[in-house]
Amino acid sequence: MSEYKEIFKAESEEHLQQLNDSLLGLEQNPNDLEYINTMFRSAHTLKGMSATMGFNTIAELTHEMENLMDMVRKSQLAISNGLIDILFECLDTLEALVATVDSGETVNITSLQATLVRAMEGTIATGEITCSIAASTSTIENDIGSELQSAVKIASETDIELSEAEKQAIECAAQDGNRVVSLKVTLDESCVLKSARSTLVLINVTKMGEIIKCEPGEEQLEDEKFDLEFTVIFSTKATDEEIVGNITKISEIKNVVPTTISQSTQNDKIDHDKKENDEEVHQNSSSVKRSDAVKSIQSVRVNIERLDNLMNLVGELIINKIRLNQLASDLNAKDLDESLANLDRLTNEIQTEVMESRMVPIDQIFSRFPRMIRDLAKSEGKQINLIIEGKEIELDRTVLDEIGDPLVHLLRNAVDHGIESEDERRKIGKPVAGLVRLAASRQRNSVLIEVEDDGKGMDPATLRDIAVKKEIMSREEVDKLSDTDALNLIFMPGFSGAKAITDISGRGVGMDAVKTKIESLGGSVKISSVPGQGSIMKLQLPLTVAIIQSLMVTVADETYAIPLGNVIRDVGIKASEIKTIEGKEVVLLRGEVLPLLRLHDVLDCTEEQEEKKTLIVVVVEKMGNNIGLVVDSLLGQQEVIIKTLDNKILKNIRGFAGATILGDGSVALILDIATLI
């Protein structure tokens, strides 16, 4: 049962996200009923799944939501802000119910159900609308041609009884140029969740056309009150091949038989037991066989722990590959070199595939923010337009799981601190609706995420005053800061520009937490702001935290790895060019004053007694500033496997992102530039 619960939760979260996206779209476009149709399908699927699993509370709530949305579809209920709020409350409750399926905790939905009932009872029914042209039914009936009359007659003479509304729907379909298809579906004998499979069939049918009739009815399908066969009559423009292809993608489907209800088949009946139907399946196409249905499955769910184990094994493989290459270079054997070249290629391909298998679209995080911004804007009394770009960009699952909270902090600050009130924006000539932009883009071996707003921006002078008032720095210290450094004051612990503490901000922990989390992932944070125009926060993140490209250097006979994402360039400078400013070593490089940091001093290593005339400097970047690290020698670029310092004594040591194993078996520490300096 626990296995099915995990599958249920995973699929439920997808449908809840679909409900959320559609509801947000409906709020912006109340006249677009396609959003309601999409929501109805998601709620209906969720209801079927939960009923099958025995989660009756979820099934009851989704059933009430279906009733309300059905009234909207039939123009018996108008879309209003109050109705949108009720549906959002239902969505939040469903999320809570799905989250508690493991614990077995109960959530009381009585009050919410009563609210839904009152919303429906407070309306005046306008009658059921069966098709878009039902208002002129008599005219349609007089004008339908012989082919339409034939189709209605055929449907009415079949073994499945059709109501007047269903006959009228067939007429409307024909008027629109669609054909009416009777689809007989047979499930596999091994099928356990018949209700779930039938629901998926109905969803796929809905994507191809409009369902007119189910036999048995939908409620009977949900309650699994049928054997292994059921029939769906629907209108569509799809061909038989397209219908068969779409339905057989669903697992545990044995046979699919589409039959067009038309004049040429007027003597045929929709008979569940006809032998000819089974023969037709085998004669028409092999794609309706169970074996081909299995072949059409395009993806599988894999536990993230299994992917982590696979990544660890690939890491060990790479370490051994480096070791073999090192031994081969010592032996200088041509045949061995050729074999190792092939091994190198295969190892790289395996590594790439494993890395790709861990990559997931950033949309999995971005998709939660439209609802959050909507609720924040409403509570703040502001109008906010959220623009999301780059949802298709992929990140390692480990990185993606960690950036959700930092992005929440940045977006909440943009709404609370950045965007002005509506009155303020009117006075200064800005559009009443504020703009918040969340964008992701690929930058070589990293991903850049930008959070931008068109609000009031940040004034460096004001930030200096706050730092002094909060006793974070003295007046003399802040006056020496450049404007860029002054903007970076917001990342100091305890710094906050909020005038009052609210549930959104004001405690001075948000931006500090953002910086700490991003840097722990091997990333960086940059900020730029123009007073009166807005601010941009830029998060630079590695694609993965498991395998990184590094520049290998030596300091006092010890080897260290510097992540290539932090490296700007490496240069050689003459010792005579080094100057001292306020006790700190600097050098003028390409017109820029570059601060120097000797890694011998930082790492507390023994430095050579003899002063070198030429120094090797690795220029690295931190918080938008360049710094030169003085090292003894460069060993070149190398791909390294990060081994985290999980030991209780080591894991809190600043300056190191982890360790790696070199080809000769020795251990090299990976420098964390963000915390080292």
Question: What pLDDT sits at residue 545?
Answer: 67
The tens digit of pLDDT for each residue in 637-655 reads: 887 877 777 656 666 677 7
Same-fold call for 135-295 versus 547-676: no
Which neighbouring-strand residues pair with 569? 619
171 is catalytic: no
Query: Class for domain 2-121, per CATH?
Result: mainly alpha
| Residue 348 contacts residue 384 (beta carbons within 8 Å) | no
Cβ neighbours around 226 below 10 Å, total: 16
Least confident stretch, 132-141, 194-203, 658-667: 132-141
**Which is catalytic among the residues 15, 27, 44, 488?**
44
Secondary structure in 3-state letters for 81-121: HHHHHHHHHHHHHHHHHHHCCCCCCCCCCHHHHHHHHHHHH
The segment with the largest mean pLDDT, out of 187-191, 322-326, 359-363, 520-524, is: 359-363
| Residue 47 contacts residue 53 (beta carbons within 8 Å) | no
- What is the distance between the alpha carbons of residues 210 and 257, in angstroms, rounded to a whole number? 18
Position 292 pLDDT exceeds 80: no
Q: What mean pLDDT do residues 632-637 have?
A: 87
385 is catalytic: no
- Selected residue with higher pLDDT from 628 and 519: 628
409 is catalytic: no
- Selected residue with higher pLDDT from 128 and 672: 672
Residue 298: pLDDT band (50, 70, 90) is low
Position 264 pLDDT exceeds 60: no
Position 495 pLDDT exceeds 80: no
Question: What pLDDT sits at residue 648?
Answer: 61
Question: What pLDDT sits at residue 98?
Answer: 87
The tens digit of pLDDT for each residue in 365-423 reads: 898 889 889 989 988 889 999 999 998 888 888 788 888 888 988 999 899 889 999 99
541 Cα distance to chain centroid: 16
What per-residue string of b and e applies to 472-492 under the rule 16 or more CB within 10 Å gives b?
Answer: bbeeeebeebeeebbbbbbbb
Q: What CATH topology corresponds to 361-542?
A: Heat Shock Protein 90 (3.30.565)
**Which is catalytic among the residues 11, 13, 66, 229?**
66
- Selected residue with higher pLDDT from 269 and 389: 389
Strands 656-661 and 667-671: antiparallel
Least confident stretch, 73-87, 152-166, 657-671: 152-166
Residue 143: pLDDT band (50, 70, 90) is very low
Position 151 pLDDT exceeds 50: no
Residue 341: pLDDT band (50, 70, 90) is confident
| Residue 173 contacts residue 146 (beta carbons within 8 Å) | no
| Residue 259 contacts residue 265 (beta carbons within 8 Å) | yes
Q: How far is CA 42 from CA 20, 30, 96, 144, 211, in A?
A: 10, 18, 17, 35, 16
Question: What pLDDT sits at residue 435?
Answer: 94
- Selected residue with higher pLDDT from 224 and 451: 451
Question: What pLDDT sits at residue 537?
Answer: 93
Domain ranges of the chain: 2-121, 135-295, 304-358, 361-542, 547-676
**CATH hierarchy code of domain 304-358:** 1.10.287.560
Position 287 pLDDT exceeds 60: no
Percentage above 90 pLDDT, the chain: 11
Question: What pLDDT sits at residue 153?
Answer: 41
Position 271 pLDDT exceeds 70: no
Helix 194-208 with 240-248: angle, nearest 10 deg = 150
469: three-class secondary structure by DSSP: helix
Average pLDDT, the chain: 78
Q: What mean pLDDT do residues 526-550 have?
A: 85
| Residue 425 contacts residue 432 (beta carbons within 8 Å) | yes
Question: What pLDDT sits at residue 389?
Answer: 93
Nearest 5°: the CA angle 126, 129, 131 is: 155
Position 47 pLDDT exceeds 80: yes
Q: What mean pLDDT do residues 610-628 have?
A: 82
Least confident stretch, 60-64, 370-374, 536-540, 609-613: 609-613
**Which is catalytic among the residues 20, 413, 488, 566?**
413
Q: What mean pLDDT do residues 246-270 have?
A: 67
Q: Which CATH architecture has domain 547-676?
A: Beta Barrel (2.40)
Position 131 pLDDT exceeds 50: no
Question: What pLDDT sits at residue 248?
Answer: 84
Position 138 pLDDT exceeds 60: no
| Residue 162 contacts residue 156 (beta carbons within 8 Å) | yes
Q: What mean pLDDT do residues 523-531 have?
A: 89
Q: What mean pLDDT do residues 347-358 have?
A: 79
Question: What pLDDT sits at residue 523?
Answer: 82
The tens digit of pLDDT for each residue in 564-598 reads: 878 888 888 888 888 888 888 888 888 788 888 88
Q: What mean pLDDT do residues 481-492 have?
A: 87
Strands 592-598 and 625-631: parallel
Residue 159: pLDDT band (50, 70, 90) is low
Residue 146: pLDDT band (50, 70, 90) is very low
Q: What CATH topology corresponds to 135-295?
A: Alpha-Beta Plaits (3.30.70)
